[in-house]
Amino acid sequence: IEQELIRSEKLQLVGQLAAGFAHEIRNPLTTIRGFMQIFHQSDATKDEHKVHYDVMIKEIDRVNSIIGELLQMANPKSGTSKTETNIGEVLTDIHTLYEPEANEQGIKMRLQVEPLPTVYLDRSKLHQVVMNLVKNGLEAIDGSGSLALSAYENTEREIIEIKVEDTGIGMNPQTMEKLGTPFFTTKETGTGLGLMTSFRIVEEIGGKLLVTSKEGVGTTFMIQLPLYELKMYR
């Protein structure tokens, strides 16, 4: 009976997500259709419709990102495939990937990884989570600032801690409460799916995703991974 309950809960979740996706895709389509209709009926010049075109492009981009996230979630490769993983390497890759973009925005990106024991987990999933957190961190910084990426072994608690710290706009308690809710976003072209996926993945790995934040000061996301399990699980 318990199994079945879990199964029906899962189906319910899938249904909610599908409804959410449908809604999030239909909204921009409605906007775009409305604007097309206005163009069709109006005698205004192309220049006079510039604002409409800009909104349409943004809405199309949003649909595109939502579909991207959907594909990522549906990716068959996203079934677990555990491999020996060097967490330092994962962080270094992400640092290398985002540093040019950060520099261009005037953001200083720091990387600090201590030598860590090799763990056994789905490397691409961990990559995805840290990437989501780094993207959010960079997006939270308006103008110059810094984003620090670090990992260390907390030997006392037998966990590995991965931190993504930004000096961005931070969050108020109301926003923090909604983190991880599907489609919750405060960004114009956000999808509100990054953190939902991240919480889910970290849970799958057997870890915890914690957040502290202060408005106007910055935000720290911390992934805690149970070392004992990840070293043994083969």
For ligand ADP, the binding residues (CB under 6 A) are 132, 136-137, 140, 166, 168-171, 175, 179, 184-187, 190-195, 219
Closest to ligand ADP by CB, 26 vs 187, is 187
Given 145, 168, 194, 226, the residue binding Mg ion (CB under 5 A): 194
Give whichever of 85 and 136 is closer to Mg ion, judged by the CB atom: 136
CB of 194 to Mg ion, least distance (A): 3
191 binds, among ligand ADP, Mg ion, none (CB under 5 to 8 A by kind): ligand ADP
- State the binding string over 70-89 for Mg ion (x if CB under 5 A, else -): --------------------
Sign of CA dihedral 176, 145, 186, 209: negative
| Pick 144 or 175: Cβ nearer ligand ADP | 175
| Phi, psi of 192, deg, nearest 5 | 65, 30
Nearer to ligand ADP, 35 or 199 (CB): 199
- Check residue 218 and give left, alpha or beta (phi > 0: left; psi -120 to 50: alpha): left
Residues that bind Mg ion (CB under 5 A): 136, 194
